[in-house]
Amino acid sequence: MNEVKKFSPIEVTLEANRQYYWCACGLSKSQPFCDGSHKGTGITPLAFSVEQTKSAWLCTCKKTANKPYCDGTHNKI
């Protein structure tokens, strides 16, 4: 049986020209997107959009060097 890593990235479909807010604090219950749980932490979500509709793997470990996209850093945690 394959073990699911705690911080595995989440595959999402991103729509062209839509504003997204990636959770940077790790507290959101709507991972990988912000649900406002960061309030009072001093951490703010990352606003981003894409030019073309596409599938993408978004980071949940919050340690990626390519925010909001997964770069495999979760494999080193």
Q: Is residue 59 part of a domain?
A: yes
Using alpha carbons, list the distances in angstroms from residue 8 to 16, 18, 41, 58, 61: 24, 24, 23, 9, 7
Whole-model pTM? Answer: 0.88
At residue 7, the pLDDT reads: 82
Q: What pLDDT, on the 0 to 100 scale, is given for residue 77?
A: 82
pLDDT of residue 28: 95
Residue 1 maps to a domain:
no
In a domain, 3, yes or no: no
pLDDT along the chain (77 residues), means of 10: 66 98 96 96 97 98 96 91
| Domain extent for 71 | 19-77
What is the reported pLDDT for 5?
54
- Domain count across the chain: 1
Q: Is residue 14 part of a domain?
A: no
User: Does residue 64 form part of some domain?
Assistant: yes
b/e code 48-75 from CB counts within 10 Å (16+ = b): eeeeeeeeebbbbbbebeeebebeebbe
Q: Which helix (H) or strand (E) holds 10?
A: strand 10-14
